[in-house]
A and B are shown apart, each in its own frame.
Chain A
Amino acid sequence: EDKVVQSPLSLVVHEGDTVTLNCSYEVTNFRSLLWYKQEKKAPTFLFMLTSSGIEKKSGRLSSILDKKELFSILNITATQTGDSAIYLCAVEDDAGGTSYGKLTFGQGTILTVHP
């Protein structure tokens, strides 16, 4: 059975701090790894990673994938109170063909940023 484990489960920091969120996975048919931010509603897409060692960046957020060691990290620099949310890691199953496969999510990391 596919498994995605995130750590830490919760994290409390002050504005300006840098945080690193971890995601490890065990899946039978890996196709991609995704990071989402969730604030009380549906998950909001952050990154999609398919290749090892290639960092993806968006503003203060960045992420990288290691397919050999089966993990990914999400970094947030200069955190702000608006970064407070649940961060979800998910792995896409290789369903074959040209369509996207189902996602297996981790339990999430609850990030709280204090002013």
Chain B
Amino acid sequence: DTGVSQDPRHKITKRGQNVTFRCDPISEHNRLYWYRQTLGQGPEFLTYFQNEAQLEKSRLLSDRFSAERPKGSFSTLEIQRTEQGDSAMYLCASSWAREETGGSLNYGYTFGSGTRLTVV
């Protein structure tokens, strides 16, 4: 499989529990992004990595959220003490350097299928 893989696909947890999601990007991609999408809304940016360095974090990423990409390959997103408001689809995407073909910029993102979190 040469796409972006996310695990698990679905997660149901009780309020107050900790959860961890994993994202495996395309192997040669150096950037990895996390987004969160709630029902009826577009995806919202959470954070992104360049190799193992976390370059930016959204204000949406509270202290209960932490993301890592320890070796510049896969990434994990952990949510501690989950709340019902954390219920959402968590999307991962990866990208490589910008490329052009014939003067046109190539599209460079690949999204995973997401992890749907339900907090009960």
Q: With the chains together, A112 CA to B41 CA distance in Å?
A: 17
Chain A: interface size category: 20 to 34
A103 near B45 (CB under 8 angstroms)? Answer: yes
B41 near A107 (CB under 8 angstroms)? Answer: yes
* A positions within 8 Å CB-CB of B: 4, 6, 32, 34, 41-43, 45, 48, 50, 88, 90, 95, 98-100, 102-108
B98 near A48 (CB under 8 angstroms)? Answer: no
Chain B minimum-CB-distance residue to A6: B42
Contact of A50 among B45, B105, B108, B114 (CB under 8 A): B105
A43 near B43 (CB under 8 angstroms)? Answer: yes
Which residues of B, 25-72, contact A by the 8 Å Cβ criterion? 30-31, 33, 35, 40-45, 48, 50, 55-56
B42 near A100 (CB under 8 angstroms)? Answer: no
Residues on A with beta carbons closer than 8 Å to the beta carbon of B31: 99-100
Residues on B with beta carbons closer than 8 Å to the beta carbon of A107: 40-42
Chain B minimum-CB-distance residue to A32: B105
Is B75's beta carbon under 8 Å from chain A? no
| A103-B43 contact, Cβ under 8 Å, with A42-B112, A43-B111, A98-B97 | yes
Interface majority SS (helix, strand, loop, mixed), chain B: strand
A100 near B108 (CB under 8 angstroms)? Answer: yes
| A90-B42 contact, Cβ under 8 Å, with A45-B107, A99-B30 | yes
Contact of B105 among A45, A48, A102, A108 (CB under 8 A): A48
A99 near B50 (CB under 8 angstroms)? Answer: yes
Which 10 interchain pairs have the tightest Cβ spacing? A105-B42, A42-B111, A100-B95, A98-B97, A48-B107, A102-B45, A108-B42, A105-B43, A100-B108, A107-B42
B33 near A102 (CB under 8 angstroms)? Answer: yes
Residues on B with beta carbons closer than 8 Å to the beta carbon of A6: 42
**Binary flags per residue of B79-119, CB closer than 8 Å to A gives 1, else 0:** 00000000000010001111000000101110111100000
Nearest CB in chain A: distance from B120 CB, A: 21
Nearest CB in chain A: distance from B41 CB, A: 5
Chain B minimum-CB-distance residue to A41: B113
Q: A43-B91, A102-B48, A103-B43 are in contact. List 13 more A-B contacts (CB 8 A).
A: A34-B107, A42-B111, A48-B105, A48-B107, A90-B42, A95-B55, A99-B50, A99-B95, A100-B31, A102-B56, A105-B42, A107-B42, A108-B40
